[in-house]
A and B are shown apart, each in its own frame.
Chain A
Amino acid sequence: MSRTLYDLLGLLAAVLFIMALKGLSSPKSARRGNLLGALGALIATVAVFFYAEPEYSLPLENLEWILGAIAIGVIVAVPAARKVQMTQMPQMVALFNGVGGGAAALVAIVEYIKLGETAGFATVLATVFTVIVGCVSFSGSIVTFLKLQELMTTRPVILPAGRFLIIANLVAVLGVAYWVMDEMGTSPLLVLAGLSLLFGVLFVLPVGGADVPIVISLLNAFTGLTVAASGYVLEATLLIVAGTLVGASGTILTRLMAEAMGRSLFGTLFGAFTQTAQAGGTEAESRPVKSGSPEDVAILLNYARRVVIVPGFGLAVAQAQHTVREMADLLSARGIDVAYGIHPVAGRMPGHMNVLLAEANVPYEQLVEMDEVNPTFPQTDVALVIGANDVVNPAAKTTPGCPIYGMPILEVQQAGNIIFLKRSMRPGFAGIENELLFDPKTTLLFGDAKASLTKVVSALKGL
């Protein structure tokens, strides 16, 4: 095809990407938006096979390698994306983001090897940027994946002299970047890639588990910018537009997320450097708590007028969405007012809990957002907290310096009774003790959320 047609198809793909992002910003058009994005990607990918730059000819060189590599990618990605549990989706997104950053860095490296001495200053600058940020995004995303998958600790990891290490690493990265631009060699570029990978690890390690989603969003924006920069290296307009769109919208999204969680972006990323890690009230563990039987819980619920269910990640892990819905239906049938209080970051990411409950067919009208449900807690007889901890922890309001301080919470402490369904006394994802567990009006029911709820349901039926 002609250059003009190829460029027009690229423009069409870029427009489809803009419409995709626009569509994804509103619930009604979100799914169509995503499909438009996929269509744009399909058009751009097919088009590249039918256009060769003047000094090359069709079909593309190495065609069998290219098609084989795409086939491998599809075979890996599709089953992974289709089978992943909805609870594990955040780490899946982190992983997809990381490999994208890695791909951009590799593309820049190959093009740099090819251009060699002929590369202009701006091209080398863009290459260096792509390699640094792409590698940071790659290794950073892998660390966030490991944290979310709980293959490593979810607490902030503070290395001895961590602050010194990361600054030294940053200086080394910038020094080698200068070396690359000065000497134009492949080996300095590979050293740069290695140092940048290390920087990504050091950058994400000190981030606490609860803040990881913000970091994923930020790294997502980073990857967008690397794609834009590699587009500059390759003089591919579509890559510049698509990458920049993601970079810009990702930056805004990161800020929105940080706001929803009541965190400052700076505090999230550098908090672990500027404050000492919170010990988390270890003295508290030996204090007595009031634990109850499923029957006690059923009685409390049965004689309530209004019940607010606060679902957390524990509910999702136990796959208890359906059981909780059965219980809610039972209570509603007895004339009890039931609502779900959804914290913006319940689960692992903003909006994650809505996805999980929607999967269990919970009626949408019963899902009440935090700002609407909070004023109703004083009139609520029972707040039933299922597998949630950090999002109801009053320490977010009362303990300056604790890792979640400043995060808006669901104010269940104002309800008449509080019931916690927990597996153990283990603190939540952020790793901090919850004072509420020791409150006199709190009843704890230990065990797997699904098993506990099943017992509560049968006890309710017997009443």
Chain B
Amino acid sequence: MSEAMALLAIFTLAVFVGFEVVSKVSSTLHTPLMSGANAIHGIILVGAIIVASHAETSLELGLSVAAIILATINLVGGFVVTDRMLEMFKGKRETNNSGKAGDKKGGAK
């Protein structure tokens, strides 16, 4: 299988996984789920770092530094704000959710 076909296969399978994982969600969780998904696409940070490390001209460097800043805001801000939202639900759900396991704040640095 060629490189391009392999990437296409990965893409297609990921579409189905994406459909599957969120098919049944109560409306209570729509906002945190959207916010969490929003944080995940901040992983474009990895792409921004790669292009920045290959930048040769100052135009390339300038644009990729801007991309890193924006991507970091998306990624780190996204996880922190989602965590804050979910903190509100702590212990409020029916019974056993202590919500305390791992109090590490989200964020990549």
Contact = CB atoms under 8 A, between A and B. Distances in A.
A80 B77 contact: yes
Contacts of A97: 38, 41, 74
A251 B99 CA distance: 28
Contact of A34 (B26, B86, B108): B86
A364 B37 CA distance: 26
Contacts of A114: 51, 54-56, 60
The majority secondary structure among interface residues of chain B is: helix
A35 interface: yes
A232 B49 contact: no
A236 B89 CA distance: 36
A22 interface: yes
Q: Which of A45, A60, A102, A232 is most buried by chain B, counting CB atoms within 10 A of its CB?
A: A45
Interface string A16-44: 01101110111110111111011011101
Contact of A18 (B21, B65, B85): B21
A264 to B, nearest CB: 17
A72 interface: yes
B108 A38 contact: yes
A34 B82 contact: yes
Contact of A82 (B3, B24, B32, B80): B80
A110 interface: yes
Nearest to B60: A110
A111 B15 CA distance: 25
A410 B106 CA distance: 37
A93 interface: yes
A142 to B, nearest CB: 12
A70 B64 CA distance: 11
Contacts of B45: 41, 45, 70, 103
A10 B94 CA distance: 36
Interface string B11-33: 10011111101111111111111
Contact of B43 (A76, A122, A242): A242
B20 to A, nearest CB: 9
A122 B85 CA distance: 40
Contact of B102 (A30, A35, A251): A35
A358 B92 contact: yes
Given A38-B107, A62-B52, A364 B94 contact: yes
B67 A107 contact: yes
Contacts of B88: 86, 355-356, 358-359
Contact of A103 (B23, B74, B90, B93): B74
Contact of B51 (A56, A234, A350, A359): A234
Contacts of B21: 18, 21-22, 25, 245, 249
- When A and B form their complex, which 8 residue pairs have the shortest distance between CB atoms, in order from nearest? A73-B72, A248-B18, A38-B106, A77-B77, A100-B74, A350-B30, A244-B14, A69-B68
6 contacts: A34-B86, A42-B109, A45-B43, A96-B78, A220-B37, A239-B47
Given A93-B34, A248-B17, 5 more contacts: A62-B61, A65-B61, A69-B52, A110-B51, A253-B25
